[in-house]
Amino acid sequence: MNLDDYPLVSDWIRLVDGQLVLRTGKIDIGQRITTALTRIVAEELTLDPATLRMDPVRTGVSPDEGITSGSNSVMHSGAALRLAAATLRGCAMTLAAGQIAGDGADLVLADGHITHAATDRRFALLDLLAECDPDMAVDRAAPSLPRDGRAPLPRFAPLGLEDMVRGRFTFIHDMERPGMLHARVVRPPRKTDRLERIEDETRQTLSDRGLELIQDGSFLAVAGPVEWAVIQGALRLARGCVWTAGADLPEGDFEQMLLNNPRTSVPLDNGMPQDAPVPPPLEAPDLTATFARPYQLHGAMGPSAALALWQDGTLEIHSHSQGIYPLRAAIAESLSMDLDDVRVIHGAGAGCYGHNAADDAAFEAALIARALPDRPILLKWTREDEHGWEPVSPAMVVQLAARMSEGRVAAYSAEAFSDTHRGRPRSGPDRAGPRRLLANQFRAKPEAPFVATPNMAAHAGLHRNLDPIYRFDQVRAVKNLVHDLPLRSSAMRCLGAAVNTFAHEAFLDELAEQAGRDPLAFRRDHLDDPRALAVLDRLEQYLADTPVKGDTARGIAYAQYKNELTRVAVAVDLHVTEAAEPVLERITLVADAGRVVDPDGLRDQLEGGALQGASWALIEEVQWDRDGVVSRDWDSYPVIRFGHVPVIETILIEHPDAPSVGAGEATPGPVIGAIANALYAAIGMRMRRMPFNAERLMAMALAE
């Protein structure tokens, strides 16, 4: 938790002009963390959430909470704010007790007031908080306000939504500053190409149009006051550049590359990488299967953007990066600046679903701003930039094997193969920060591309959820970080868990079939966690209440994100058309996320994750060739749309006394698994490679 570095109440909550202002280092990316954090504090203090304000997240002021990722925000920032609020509440209760000269046992807190019935005294909480020392230490043992007998916090609209529906919500893309210039980057045709020269005529044309040309080696940009003119100017510049061709990208089948390229192998114990020899493969398995997912995109709706200003040797950057402090460090190191001379302020971007081009855009805006001092620079990536140059989610292969005994899994082996999921520009040895900022590869003094090493944290990177949640007598789990792959990759929602969970859940169905067991019963055979069993029981009840009819087929899955966060059981109902097109009809989610902070937000995250998982499962695949990514728009990289959206039903099982755990990444993995299992029920074919589209279904059918 972040209370070690930020131990004071004032690090998290301050009373400013009679209003409580909350601080967090976590940023909104569509998951509505600020709404959830506001609810947490409002609930602890029985205040109207509308009276609370979130402080903008910015370096130098906000607590440094690293990256907003991994479904950790409610557990980390939420827990800190809950304790800070509970500490304040304790202070207010003590002050009130002093006023009535009692022990405070008969004081009642409700609606932002503390009342004492015996003496008919009533204190406004905020008045008492004003007397508390703002710099008192957060009491880590401060109890939560019990919910017993209290009305639940009322619904309130997510922060920003009222403005969003009226077109008044300001994304970075919408920012205006006096004297601001719009900017676009002109990229080489291929990532290995380097600029030879720019035609004089092109320079003249840009100059005649009043456009600025920014160049640092092979990093090129155009800036000017009118956005459309800048877009046209960037196209003109692209036509006027002569490039020296670099090496071709490796081409081929990603599955073969992942299995055949050089790799670093690390065994796992309970999800934790071990500095130990890789154990030998399972002897005499009864069943083996290989699962695969291609490269996929974050594909934000709004291409990445940043606004930067260089003034008096300092930089101010507005960015939708998920980690403003790590980004600041990487930019300062790239430009040999003092940390204090770089300020990064979070501004809204489109949902990113992980590490997309936000950080790259922020650094590029900084480079342009440095070349054009005192002019605010609003850089936007183009759709082609975003699809073609964002750090993609790595392709993966998962190999599973199991040995059975008396209808149970006696031994289980799981091996995952993938490029890194850690492309974020975090500082580290060997200029690890600067090397992961795209533009640094093209500058006059380029950084060498980053070479990844295995992530040795528990359930991190490619091995997230690789160690199965099920109680198997013997488990062998190995992560393989594969090298020399064609595309730059990084973290996308769920990291390896999407693929690992899909593989486990599809394989469990295969094992159940071999054992002659019902898939749900077979899972239950291998689980002893009562909350997992309760989630499965609820799903089973649903399945019994709503039997499928006609051509509809059903598949189920179960997962617990990182084997310790939200538990989710899924049922997917679908049919397959005569054209081999899978059509989702209904997705049912049963979820246990502990104590629920924001029911609407929780449900939206679970459902949104389910639909993103469905989109990955059925549709999405990055195409590339020796020149780079070729799927550079929404036609060549289709995603799920309204026409494909099934009915989604979400059933929440709440445990008010259990910790609130993250849910934003809980559903994609099991949804993909349930879709694969439903497809088997529909057509009798085991789909083990995503996406399960008509083309692949046809190819499988022909191969059989």
Partner 1 sequence: MSLTLTINGEPHQIASDPDTPLLFVLRDELKLKGAKLGCGLEQCGACSVLVDGESVPSCVTPAAVFEGKQIVTVEGIEALTTGARVQAAFVDASAAQCGYCTSGLVVAATALLSAHPDADRDQMRAALDPNICRCGSHPRILAALESITQNGAADT
- Which residues contact partner 1 by CB under 8 A? 29-32, 157-158, 160-162, 164-171, 173-174, 176, 226-228, 231, 299-303, 348-351, 353, 380, 382-383, 600-601, 604, 607-612, 633-635, 639-643, 645, 647-648
> Which residue's entry shows tokens 């406004």?
124
Q: Which is nearer to partner 1, 357 or 460 (CB)?
A: 357
Residue 85 vs 305, nearer CB to partner 1: 305
Nearest approach in angstroms of CB 640 to partner 1 is 8
Provide, rounded to whole angstroms, the least separation between the CB of residue 173 and partner 1: 7
* Cβ-contact 60, 71 below 8 angstroms: no
Count of other CB atoms within 10 angstroms of residue 601: 20
**Shortest approach of partner 1 to residue 152 CB, angstroms?**
16
Distance CA 533, CA 524 (A): 7
3-state secondary structure of 399: strand
The least CB distance from residue 662 to partner 1, in Å, is 15
**Angle of helix 497-515 versus helix 599-618 axis, rounded to 10:** 70
Residue 128 region, left (φ>0) first, then alpha (ψ -120 to 50), else beta?
alpha
**Residue 33: CB minimum distance to partner 1, A:** 11
Report how far residue 345's alpha carbon sits from residue 307's, in angstroms, rounded to the nearest whole number.
10
Nearer to partner 1, 164 or 658 (CB): 164
Q: How far is the CB of 97 from partner 1 (least distance, A)?
A: 40
The nearer residue to partner 1, 376 or 454, going by C-beta atoms, is 376
Smallest gap, in angstroms, from Cβ of residue 160 to partner 1? Answer: 6
Can you state the percent helix, strand and coil of the chain, rounding each to 5?
A: 35, 25, 45
CA distance 559 to 567: 6
Question: What is the token pair recorded at 419?
Answer: 């490029």
- Matching residue, tokens 């099934």: 646
Residues 6+ apart with CB under 8 A from 292: 254, 255, 258, 395, 396, 397, 398, 499, 688, 689, 690
The DSSP output letter for 473 is S
Q: What kind and span of H or E run contains 183? A: strand 181-186
Least gap, CB of 614 to partner 1 (angstroms): 9
In the bound complex, what is the minimum distance in angstroms from residue 156's beta carbon to partner 1? 10
- Nearest CB to partner 1, comparing residues 158 and 240: 158
Report the nearest approach of partner 1 to the CB of residue 382 (Å): 7
Q: Which is nearer to partner 1, 35 or 87 (CB)?
A: 35
Q: How far is the CB of 296 from partner 1 (least distance, A)?
A: 12
**Which residue lies nearer to partner 1 by CB, 10 or 232?**
232
Return the number of the residue (516 or 643) whose C-beta is nearest partner 1: 643
Of 302 and 461, nearer to partner 1 (C-beta) is 302
d(CA 502, CA 672): 5
Tell me the three state secondary structure of residue 698.
Answer: helix
- If the CB atoms of residues 640 and 681 are measured against partner 1, the closer one turns out to be 640
- Of 563, 571, 587, 570, the residue nearest 640 (C-alpha): 587
Q: Is the bond leading into 691 cis (omega within 30 degrees of zero)?
A: yes
Q: How far apart are CA 173 and CA 512, in angstroms?
A: 51
CB atoms within 10 A of CB 101: 7
Min separation Cβ 589 and partner 1, Å: 11
Rounded CA-CA distance 109/162 in Å is 31
In whole angstroms, how close is the CB of 420 to partner 1 at the nearest point? 23
Contact 171, 347 (CB under 8 A): yes
* CB nearer to partner 1: pick between 382 and 440: 382
Q: What is the DSSP string of 607-629?
A: HHHHHHHHHHHHT----EETTEE
Structure tokens belonging to residue 491:
């973290």
What's the rounded Cα separation, in Å, for the pair 275 and 463? 15
Nearest partner of 330 among 245, 264, 424, judged by Cα:
424
Angle CA 319–386–620, to nearest 5: 125
**Between residues 303 and 691, which has the closer beta carbon with respect to partner 1?**
303
Nearer to partner 1, 173 or 421 (CB): 173
Which stretch of DSSP H or E encloses residue 591? strand 582-592
What 8-state DSSP symbol labels residue 562?
A: G
